[in-house]
Amino acid sequence: MSRVYNFSAGPACIADEVLKQAQEEMLDWQGTGMSVMEMSHRGKAYMSIAEKAEADLREIMNIPANYKVLFMQGGASTQFAAVPINLMGSNRKADYILTGQWSKKAIAEAKRYGDINVAASSEDSKFTTVPEQSEWNLSKDAAYLHYTPNETIVGVEFPFLPETDVPLVADMSSTIMSKEIDVSKFGIIYAGAQKNIGCAGLTIVIVRDDLIGNCIDGMPAMLDYKIMADNDSMYNTPATYSWYIAGLVFNRIKENGGIKVLEETNRRKAGKLYSAIDESSFYSNPVDVDCRSLMNVPFILGDSALDGAFLEGAEKVGLTTLKGHRSVGGMRASIYNAMPEAGVDALVEFMKDFEKNNA
Ligand SMILES: *Cc1c(COP(=O)(O)O)cnc(C)c1O
C-alpha cells in the first residue's frame, strides 16, 4: 500500500492516524461488537461519541458557553439558505462581502429570502484581493454581515477581522481550525466538514444563543437552528459516521498541542510554497501578498502548455489532485491541516525540478 500526498480542495486528505484508528474500530467499536456506522444515534455508545466530539471541539476552538454547536447536514451550501432564514428577521436585510466564487453563491442563495446589500466586492480584480473595510458600504439596518474568510477557489484570505455592530457570519469551510480565532467575535461560524475537519456529510454550525429562535415561518424544520439546538442536532438521523470521524480529528488536534501548533505548522507550510513560487520566474500567484490563503495555494506555470506535463510528472511522484479549479486554471495546492509538512516539501522539490527541466 502506498499513500499519496493529496492536494485536493475537498473532500481533502485526512491524517493517517485518524484513518488507521477508524480502521481499527471499523468492525468493533470499543467492545460493542458494532461498527459506528451501525449504531443507533440514540444509543449510549453513539451518544458518548457525539458528546465527546462536541466537547473536544469546544475545547480546541475555545467556544464560549453561550454558543451552541450544531452538527448539521447539507454542506455549507445549505447554510447559505439557513443563515438568512434564521437571521434576517422581519426587515429581511443583510450585508454581504463578495470576495470570490463561494461568497457569490452565498449571496445568490440569500437573495431568495431578502434584500441583500453587497457592501464590497473584489470582482473587478478577479477576486485577487480583499477590499479594505474603509471602502465598504455597510447598510444601517442589516440583520447581519456575511463574509467568507477564506475563498477556496482563488486562494484569497481576509488579512483582518471585519468590524461590525451586527452579528458577523463567517463561512469557514476551508479555514476552520487552521489558525487561532476568537469565537466570541462571531455570531455564526459554519463549515462543511470535508476540508479541514473530516469527511463529507457533516456541517458544523457554531451559533450564538441569542441568534437562535427567529427562523422565518414556513421554512423547513431541518434548517431551523432552534429545532436543531433543542434536539441536540438529532431531530432526525445525523451524519453519524462523519460526526465520529470529526471527533477523531478533534481529539488528535487536542493531543497534538491544539490549534496554536497547527497554525505554526500551517504558516510554515504556506510560507515554503509561496516562497518557492515567488523565488521563481516560472511560477506565479496572482493574489495580493497580504491576502494570500494559508490553505489554498493556486499557481500558474509560465507556459500553460506545460500544465499536462506538470500534473503527470507530479502524479508519478505521488503528488495528486493539483489541477487548478476550472475557473482559474493552472494548479492549486490545498494544504489543509491534515497535509503533512513533508508533502509540501515534496511538492516544492518537484516544482524546482520541473522548472529546471522545462523552463
Ligand atoms: C467547499 C466550500 C463550500 C461548499 O461546501 P459544500 O459543503 O460542498 O456545500 C462553501 N464555501 C466554501 C468557502 C467552501 O470552501
CATH of the domain at 143: 3.40.640.10
Q: Ligand 1 in contact with 173 (CB < 6 A)? A: yes
Asked whether residue 296 is assigned to any structural domain, the reply reads yes
The percentage of the chain sitting over the pLDDT mark of 90, rounded to a whole number, equals 97
* 152 in a known ligand binding site: yes
* 58 in a known ligand binding site: no
Same domain, 171 and 294: no
Q: Ligand 1 in contact with 122 (CB < 6 A)? A: no
Same domain, 319 and 233: no
Q: How confident is the model over 282-298, as pLDDT tens digits? A: 999 999 999 999 999 99
State the pLDDT at residue 359. 78
Question: What number is the average pLDDT over the span 20-33?
Answer: 98
Q: For residue 183, how many C-alpha atoms fall within 13 Å in the half-sphere facing its CB?
A: 23
State the pLDDT at residue 79. 98
Tell how far the Cα of 106 is from the centroid of ligand 1, in angstroms: 10
Choose one of 255, 286, 315: the last residue of a domain: 255
Same domain, 221 and 333: no
What is the rounded distance in angstroms from the CA atom of residue 269 to the CA atom of residue 126?
25
How far CA 176 is from CA of 150, 197, 198, in Å, comes to: 9, 8, 12
Quick one: which of 168, 167, 186, 191 has its CA closest to 80? 191
Asked whether residue 6 is assigned to any structural domain, the reply reads no
Asked whether residue 10 is assigned to any structural domain, the reply reads no
Tell how far the Cα of 173 is from the centroid of ligand 1, in angstroms: 6
State the pLDDT at residue 129. 98
Atom of ligand 1 nearest to the CA of 10: 1
Question: Which of 173, 194, 205 is the best mutation target for the ligand 1 pocket, counting ligand atoms within 8 Å of the beta carbon and taking the most?
Answer: 173
- Catalytic center residues: 102, 171, 195
Q: Ligand 1 in contact with 8 (CB < 6 A)? A: no
Residue 224 pLDDT grade (very low, low, confident, very high; cuts 50, 70, 90): very high
Ordered alpha helix ranges (H), the chain = 16-24, 44-61, 75-87, 101-110, 225-230, 240-255, 258-278, 307-316, 341-358
Choose one of 222, 239, 255: the last residue of a domain: 255
Question: Which of 101, 130, 150, 152 is the best mutation target for the ligand 1 pocket, counting ligand atoms within 8 Å of the beta carbon and taking the most?
Answer: 152
Asked whether residue 200 is assigned to any structural domain, the reply reads yes
Nearest CA to ligand 1 atom 2: 173
* 77 in a known ligand binding site: yes
Same domain, 228 and 186: yes
Query: pTM above the 0.85 mark?
Result: yes
Same domain, 127 and 247: yes
Q: How confident is the model over 304-337, as pLDDT tens digits? A: 999 999 999 999 999 999 999 988 889 999 999 9
Asked whether residue 175 is assigned to any structural domain, the reply reads yes
Same domain, 53 and 155: yes
State the pLDDT at residue 180. 98
Q: How confident is the model over 81-121, as pLDDT tens digits? A: 999 999 998 889 999 999 999 999 999 999 999 999 999 99
Nearest CA to ligand 1 atom 7: 75
The answer on pLDDT for 1 being more than 80 is: no
The total of structural domains in the chain comes to 2
Nearest CA to ligand 1 atom 10: 76
The per-residue pLDDT of the chain, averaged, comes to: 97
Asked whether the beta carbons of 234 and 69 are under 8 A apart, the reply is: no
State the pLDDT at residue 306. 97
- From the centroid of its chain, how far is CA 303? 31
Q: Which domain holds residue 65?
A: 17-255
What phi, psi does 56 have (nearest 5°)? -65, -40
Tell how far the Cα of 76 is from the centroid of ligand 1, in angstroms: 5
The answer on pLDDT for 300 being more than 80 is: yes
The answer on pLDDT for 262 being more than 80 is: yes
Choose one of 223, 255, 287: the last residue of a domain: 255
